[in-house]
Amino acid sequence: MLWSALYLTFTLTCFYGFNTGKTCLAVLLSFLGIIAGNALRSAALFYPEAHILALPSWAHEGIGMVVFFFTAIFIVGGIQWIRKNFHPDPSHLYHFLWVSRHSTPGSCYS
């Protein structure tokens, strides 16, 4: 799931022409979604694997596919959000990084 989700992330960032900052943000967001998806998948697989809940033999793969589907939707939605909300103009980064609009670029303590 990790490799497939990261492949999806990098494919979409390449398709949309993201710069380095947007790509790093997309990878971070995707990684958080992957961790959450794996935790959900592990929790969902505990009951059938411990034989607490009787499910068909294909349930393991089915649960993994359903969780990956929702993780992929999260990744695509996150990349669309980044694409719409983060502009290539560097002046938007100052607001995002909580730096005063009146400080000059390159000045850390203004």
Q: Is the pLDDT of residue 104 over 90?
A: no
Tally of domains in the chain? 1
With a cut of 80, say whether residue 1 has pLDDT above it: yes
> For residue 98, is pLDDT > 70?
no
Identify the domain containing residue 79 by its residue range. 2-96
Distance CA 3, CA 31 (A): 11
Residue-wise pLDDT for 15-56, tens only, equals 999 999 899 999 999 999 999 999 999 999 998 888 888 888
State the DSSP code for 104.
Answer: P
- pLDDT score at 108: 45
- Token pair of 93 as six digits: 């980064």
Crossing angle of the two packed helices 59-85 and 20-49, in degrees rounded to 10: 160
How confident is the prediction for the chain on average, in pLDDT?
A: 84
Residue 39 lies in a domain: yes
Query: What global pTM score does this model have?
Result: 0.74
Q: Is residue 11 part of a domain?
A: yes
